Chain A
Amino acid sequence: MSTPVIHDPSTLPSDDNVNAYTFCVELKGSQWFLQKGKMIAYYGRIDFNGIGHGRLDRLVRTSFHSPLHASDWVVAEGSGKMLLADRAFDVNSYDLDDGNLTIRAGNLLAYQPSLALKQSIVPGFLTLLGTGKFVAASNGPVVFMEPPLRVDPQALVGWADCPSPCHHYDHGYMTGVMGGLRALTGLGGASGEEHQFEFAGAGTVLLQSTEVLMADPGTGTVPHEPGVPGAGSGHGQQGSAPRLPGQLGDLQRRFGL
């Protein structure tokens, strides 16, 4: 074990990694969006203000479009150097050049206001649009893959430039009464990999090298409107007949009953 490197404001990198788990942002009178509680230390004068802060109204109007996540985000403003980290997970910065990227909400740590944050129509994911830098965390290094590709739901961090994924079920395995029972009970050898996300088209898919997820902060639900995916969650099944006691619920649909 070697002697640790001692950092001071002049040796800390500007908008780069200090080590694999810590990222340093330099603020020169500029602003960054930051997920709450990810700042571990800073030099200089930096103010942290909630998104609802009146003075930030204009900034929020141009680069923050996710009312559900508003309570998890703050704006850091001032001059100095700020260190970001998240539960000793790997952090990395990525540059977007007039691009788009969708990422799991819990994995995004910070982004420059030149990017616009929007809620993806895939629940629990956020989309960044525009040009600028953002910082994301992953458990283990991030792997970049190109579609066509099927990925494990837990390993997915995000995707860029490609259409949103769809669910893929190993159909032959899951249908029929025996298949359904096998999937539910694990008897007869469920591999645990019967369900994947499928990506098609051109782009990049970001995967983390473990299946440990970050805890997603409770973000509420999207407006309850017809045609909005995820809008009905928490309200039971809308549209279908109310479930009667003794019915098998979703099982019956799986078995085609």
Chain B
Amino acid sequence: MLAVDMTGDAVKAKNGSMVAYDGQMAFKKMSGGGEGLRGMVTRRLTGEQMEMMEVKGQGTCYFADRASEINLVSLHGDKLYVESSNLLCADAGLRTGTTFTGLRGGASGTGLFTTTVEGTGQAAIMSDGPAVVLRVTPQYPLSVDPGAYVAHQGSLQQNLQSGVTFRTLIGEGGGEAFQIRFEGDGLVYVQPSERNTVGGDV
């Protein structure tokens, strides 16, 4: 559960994720995630739909969603890439948008587009079990199972790595047919659980 103390300022949160609050709060649905008409159209087109609301007021507001674990991410002018379904809450000052992820999304079963959060402030992301934060540096590239990937931040290049060989086709696959390989400088959030993926059972 996430508790947000507010003194007249606002946060963006996933629609319907408020579980309790004390003080005075106003909830306002943000059409299209508060990204304006263009954002709305983009989200509709990309299928990366995100229902957000704006919470404003004085007091403490509590957010939670399906008992999933909540991880706080501090952003200092950098960009966080997260699946819209994993984003719970963000400071109102953070800009959200949509971006193309390429093949990775196809493999992780979460669509070809992802949500970006940009600016300075804090965002709360959800994971099934507490997320492990892994640093990627140029010397240490990281490979992640698409089903366990939650989010990443920093300047990272991702590419899909496939271990599919003729053995996969004859049922002798390595069980880890697809991985996302992150190279560059940044952080990757991984959850201790796997979504069912297209590649997961290969």
Q: Please give the residue numbers on chain A whose beta carbons come within 8 Å of chain B beta carbons, in ascending order.
A: 1, 3-9, 18-19, 21-22, 34, 36-37, 39-44, 46-53, 71-72, 74, 83, 85-88, 91
For the complex formed, measure the closest distance between the CB of B159 and the CB atoms of chain A, giving whole angstroms: 15
| Cβ-based interface call for B190 (8 A) | yes
Given contacts A3-B74, A50-B172, A85-B192, 13 further A-B contacts (CB under 8 A): A1-B2, A6-B133, A8-B134, A19-B132, A37-B194, A40-B145, A41-B190, A74-B175, A83-B190, A85-B129, A85-B193, A87-B194, A88-B192
Number of interface residues of B (CB under 8 A): 40
Interface string of B156-176 (1 = CB under 8 A from A): 000000010001000111111
A37-B129 contact in complex given A83-B190, A85-B193, A86-B193, C-beta closer than 8 Å = no
| Cβ-based interface call for B198 (8 A) | no
| Inter-chain contacts of A83 with B (CB < 8 A) | 132, 134, 190
On whether the beta carbons of B172 and A88 are closer than 8 Å, the reply is: no
| Cβ-based interface call for B142 (8 A) | yes
| Cβ-based interface call for B128 (8 A) | yes
Question: When chains A and B are docked, how far (Å) is the Cα of A4 from the Cα of B191?
Answer: 13
A41: which of B72, B148, B174 is its contact (CB, 8 Å)?
B148
| Inter-chain contacts of A36 with B (CB < 8 A) | 175-176
A37: which of B128, B130, B144, B176 is its contact (CB, 8 Å)?
B176
On whether the beta carbons of A1 and B70 are closer than 8 Å, the reply is: yes
| Cβ-based interface call for B137 (8 A) | yes
A88: which of B176, B187, B193 is its contact (CB, 8 Å)?
B193
Question: When chains A and B are docked, how far (Å) is the Cα of A53 from the Cα of B142?
Answer: 25
Question: When chains A and B are docked, how far (Å) is the Cα of A107 from the Cα of B132?
Answer: 21
A18-B176 contact in complex given A4-B72, A8-B137, A41-B190, C-beta closer than 8 Å = no
Count CB-based A-B contacts (< 8 Å). 116
| Inter-chain contacts of A8 with B (CB < 8 A) | 134-135, 137, 140
| Inter-chain contacts of A44 with B (CB < 8 A) | 140
Question: When chains A and B are docked, how far (Å) is the Cα of A40 from the Cα of B70?
Answer: 19
Mark out the residues of chain B between 134 and 157 whose CB falls within 8 Å of any chain A CB in the assembled complex: 134-135, 137, 140-145, 147-148
| Inter-chain contacts of B72 with A (CB < 8 A) | 1, 3-4
Task: Identify 29 residue pairs between A and B in the complex whose beta-carbon atoms are under 8 Å apart, listed by A's number.
Answer: A1-B70, A1-B72, A3-B72, A4-B133, A7-B132, A7-B134, A7-B135, A19-B130, A19-B192, A21-B129, A22-B129, A22-B132, A37-B194, A37-B201, A40-B145, A41-B132, A41-B142, A41-B144, A42-B142, A42-B143, A43-B134, A43-B143, A44-B140, A52-B167, A71-B171, A74-B175, A86-B192, A88-B69, A88-B193
Write the chain A residue with the least CB distance to B175: A36
| Cβ-based interface call for B200 (8 A) | yes
Nearest first, the 8 A-B pairs at minimum CB distance are: A88-B129, A36-B175, A85-B192, A48-B174, A40-B148, A21-B192, A8-B135, A50-B172
On whether the beta carbons of A41 and B176 are closer than 8 Å, the reply is: no
